[in-house]
Amino acid sequence: MTKSAPRRSDRPLRFVSLKTRASKVRLEFLGSEPKKGGSFKSFFNGLPAILAAQNLREFVEAVVNAKKKKRPVLMMFGAHVIKTGLSRYIITLMEKGWVTALATNGAGVIHDFELAFAGQTSEDVPAQLKAGIFGFARETGQYLNGWAREAAGLGSGLGETIGQKIAASRFPNRRMSLFARAYGLGVPATVHAAIGTDIVYQHPNCDGGAWGQASYTDFKRLTEIVGDLAGGGVIMNWGSAVLMPEVLLKAIAINRNKGRRMDKITAANFDMIPQYRPRVNVLERPTLWSGSRAFNFIGHHEILLPLVSQALVEHR
C-alpha cells in the first residue's frame, strides 16, 4: 500500500504592513538631485547614503580623523597611478597633510623620474619591443642606477635619495615629481624594488646589490610607519595588485612580532577589478584587530582619486 502525500498546511498566509516591514532602503538614503552650478561639497554630501557612496564618505571621515589624531595616512600605489595623470592630486594631498607617507614599486619611481626629466613617460611596449629598444631610454638607466648606487653607499633609502636628487636638479618638470615634493615636505617616500621587473635592470650600469640594499632600507622605514598606524591610522592601496600588499603584510608581521598594537586601523583598496592579494593583505589581515575597518572601491584611478582628493580638500 502506497503512502499518501503529506497534506499541505491549511494555515492561511500571513501578511504584514509595508509601513512596518523592516526595509534596507529608506527615502532619506536617496541621493540629491543634480543642480547646475552647485558646489562639489553639496554634490559629495548629496550622494546616496547607500553601499559604495556611503562607504566613500565614511572612508573620507576616517582620513579626517587620522589627521586630527596625528596618525599616519599611508598611500601605497602602483605605477599606473602616475601613468593615469594623478601626480598633482597626490602632491596636493601631501602638501595639505592628508597623506603622510608614500610607498610604491620600482616602476612608480621610473615614471616619476621620466615625467620630471622629460615631461613624458610610458612607452608603446609592442612597438618598442619590435624595434629592439623597449626599456633602453638612456637617461632613465643612467640617473636611476647611479642614484641607487649612491643611496646604497650612503646607507640611505631609494625614495629619499631619488627625491633629494630630483629636487636639487634642473629638470624642467621637477615640481611634478612626487618624490621631490615628498622630500621637500619631509614626507617619507619609499621604493620597494623587485629585481628584474623594471627597465633599469636591463642597463649595463645597474647594480642589483645597490638596488636591493637601498630598497631594504626603505622597507625598514616603511615598517616603522606601519608600526604607528594603531589608534586611527589609515592605509590606502591604489592599484598595486601584488607587490605592495605583500610588502605591507611583512611590515605588519614584524610589528606584531615585536608586540606592537595594530588595532583601530582603516584600510582601503582602490582598483579597477577585485584582486586576491589586496583583498587579503590590505583589507582582511591588517584589520583583524578590534576597532578596524576595511573598504574596497572598484573603479578607475583617474576618476576615484580626484574624487577622494577633492572631498578631502573641501572638508571642514
pLDDT digit string, tens, across residues 153-174: 999 999 999 999 999 999 999 9
In a domain, 218, yes or no: yes
Counted domains in the chain: 1
How far is it, in rounded angstroms, from Cα 316 to Cα 314? 6
Mapping DSSP to helix (H, G, I), strand (E, B) and coil, where does residue 295 land? strand
27 within domain boundaries: no
Provide the domain limits for residue 243. 49-313
* Grid coordinates belonging to 175: 615640481
Whether residue 4 is contained in a domain is answered as: no
CATH at residue 179 = 3.40.910.10
Express each pLDDT in 266-300 by its tens digit.
999 999 999 999 999 999 999 999 999 999 999 99
Name 286's Cβ contacts closer than 8 Å, sequence gap at least 6: 235, 248, 249, 252, 262, 265, 267, 292, 294
Q: What is the pLDDT of residue 10?
A: 77
pTM of the model: 0.93
Which set of grid coordinates corresponds to residue 26?
A: 529608506
31 within a domain of the structure (yes/no)? no
The pLDDT tens digits of the residues spanning 24-58 come to: 999 999 999 999 999 999 999 999 999 999 999 99
